[in-house]
Each structure stands twice: as C-alpha cells, then as structure tokens.
Copies of this chain bind each other. A is one copy, B any other.
C-alpha cells in the first residue's frame, strides 16, 4: 500500500489506462498543459502529447458529443466536465445519445466513454457550482454511475470505468481531491456494481456514497462510543446498484438509513429506500430513513451553505431516532 491523494489516485488510473491502451484519450477544458482545475490530469499532456490530452474550447455540449462519436469508432474517450452543474449543458449528448445508441442500433454501436465530473457543496462556490445531480443520471437506462469516496476506490473504479463498454458517469467530489488514503502499489481494478462495507456493524445499516461516506464513518465511530454498532456501506457504484449487498446487510441489521448530500426530494435515497421496503419489508424493524440535502439551491455564504447538507450530528441523530 502507498498513501496518496484522491486526485493522485485518479491521475494514476488515467495514466495506467493511457499507457495500456492507445485508444484512451482525454478531452476537457484546460486539462492539458495546465493539468485541470483540480490538477487531476497534471503531467499527462507532457507524457502523452496533444493528440491524447486535448484542451477544448468552452463548448461542453459538443465536446461531449464528440466523445460519443470517438467512442463509436472504437476509442475510449474520457471527458472532463469541470463541475457537474455544467453537465446540464451536455444532457442531450448523455441522455439522448450516449445512453441510447447501443439500444437504438440494436447493439451495432457501443459507446465506451467516461464522463468525469465533480460535484458537491462546501467551498462557497454558490448555486451553480455546488450541486449534487447524480439522481439525473441514475434515472437513465443505459448509463453507469460511479461515485467513489476513497483514493483506492477512485483509482480502481476509474480504471474499470474506462475499460467498460457502456457510457459511465464518474462523479468526484470537490472536498475529496485532497483527502489521502492507502492505495495498493500493484495495479488493481475494482469492479463496477459492487458496494463495499466500509465498516461492519449489526445495529443499523448506513447506506451512502461519495463524500458522505466520510461523514457516515465519523458518525459510526461516534456511535460506537455509545455502544451502537452501525454498518456503513459505501455504494461506490450507484448504477447498477448492488442490491444484494444492501439487502443482505439490512436483513442482518433490520434498520437502514440512506444518507446523501443531494436534495432529498427525488434523490436516489428514495429509490433505495423504496427498493429495500419492497424487497425486505419483513426483515425491517421500521421505516428506512433518508438523511439528505435540503430542498434548496446552495447559497454562497458558508454558514448557510453548511446548513444545506447533512452533518455528522444529523446522521448520528438520525440513527438514534430509528433505534
């Protein structure tokens, strides 16, 4: 194991895959010489040149559409959309094109592209740079959706995403780039579609992903001191959803809380809660609780921004409320 930052782990994944497969290439804004706003692609332009690390104009819709086209002719493009908020400019290319082409072509065409982007609140960037919009992709058949929380997951899942033959939406979190964690020294892959029990427990199951995994682990550590052992499951991949791991855990613990930063209304938490109810009703000792972002755009001021997303205290209180 080596310690590295989340962003370094992402860079390593890109580097290894570009090394391995000459058909992998990167496209995005100021990702080349400048190495990207969050420094994920630093050094790759120097190593792979301008044919494979491509700076684009501010034309998200079309360069994402171009990734679809490049994927259709056999490449494996990885596009970077600076903020998931800006992914709203590429919804046609993702929802109507990337997600549909294999289907409408009856399997003739494949779109093995990855759209890397980044979301979440916490830096005072206000309403157009702080959203959590994964639910919009989660609902679209034909897309895979990955949201890693740790450097190791970031590396292993990004590699798998690049090798996957479906379009993969890969959403990072702005507060995670500088976090550190152990990553295997040898090359490794983490399969898409597998959740991970990040902390085992028996009293309740906390189901979460991305940055909220860290908060759930903190909450679990706190609760442990009170003698409450909660299991923390990091989904890692949201679509396809690892229902098996979730059902298995909930059947053991009898209680579940879904935690995410995105707004509660219409968030993926509702889908997961409903699925658990439908499939494990008799094993549950009470309703599945959702702890999620408030139903509001994110404000600029840090104090009120903080009030928009779940805190460790809220998670703790939520768990206590259902025991």
Interface residues of chain A, those whose CB is within 8 Å of chain B, are 61, 85-86, 88-89, 91-92, 94-96, 99-100, 103-104, 126-128, 131, 133, 135-136, 138-142, 239, 241, 262-275, 277-278, 281, 286-290, 295-297, 299-300
Contact = CB atoms under 8 A, between A and B. Distances in A.
Nearest to A137: B266
A288 B277 contact: yes
A10 to B, nearest CB: 25
CB-based closest 4 A-B pairs: A139-B266, A270-B271, A273-B274, A270-B270
23 contacts: A85-B96, A86-B92, A88-B95, A89-B92, A96-B127, A100-B297, A103-B127, A103-B296, A104-B299, A138-B265, A139-B263, A139-B266, A141-B265, A141-B295, A239-B265, A266-B268, A266-B271, A270-B272, A273-B273, A273-B274, A277-B288, A278-B290, A281-B287
Given A270-B271, A273-B277, A297 B139 contact: no
A139 B260 CA distance: 13
Contacts of A271: 264-267, 270-271
A272 B150 CA distance: 32
A154 B34 CA distance: 53
A135 B139 contact: yes
Contacts of A274: 269-270, 273-274, 277, 288, 290
The residue in A61, A103, A241 that gathers the most chain B C-beta atoms within 10 A of its C-beta is: A103
Given A135-B266, A270-B274, A274-B290, 4 more contacts: A138-B266, A139-B265, A277-B277, A278-B289
A142 B239 contact: no
A270 B265 contact: no
A89 B271 CA distance: 26
Contacts of A241: 265
A253 to B, nearest CB: 17
Contacts of A127: 96, 100, 103-104
Contacts of A270: 270-275
Contact of A139 (B85, B262, B281): B262
A267 B135 CA distance: 9
Contacts of A296: 103, 141
A238 to B, nearest CB: 9
A100 B130 CA distance: 12
Contacts of A141: 263, 265, 295-297
Contacts of A128: 96, 100, 104
A103 B267 contact: no
A195 to B, nearest CB: 16
